[in-house]
Amino acid sequence: MNKKRRNRLEKVFDELTEIITEEQDAIARIPESFANSDRVEKMEDNLDVLADVLDNIQSVINND
């Protein structure tokens, strides 16, 4: 991967990190009475997927 594409990928990584943080904050602000709702469960599942994507992006950046 050339430097230009790696830089673009690093920007994607940074943006995804911000999105994950925002989603974690949103979940933390959900009232406890809704903590076990389907919506929160889906949000948490999505966070898990995003974290995996972030790990994979980091691997690509580090392996090049």
* pLDDT value for 1: 86
Residue 51 CB neighbour total at 10 angstroms: 14
DSSP states along 16-53: HHHHHHHHHHHHHTS-GGGTTSHHHHHHHHHHHHHHHH
Classify burial at 60, counting beta carbons within 10 Å of its beta carbon; exposed 0-12, middle 13-18, buried 19 or more: middle
Domain that holds residue 15: 3-63
Q: What is the mean pLDDT of residues 6-24?
A: 97
pTM: 0.86
Q: How many domains is the chain built from?
A: 1
Q: Is the pLDDT of residue 47 over 80?
A: yes
DSSP state of 64: -
Q: Is the pLDDT of residue 53 over 80?
A: yes
Contact 43, 2 (CB under 8 A): no
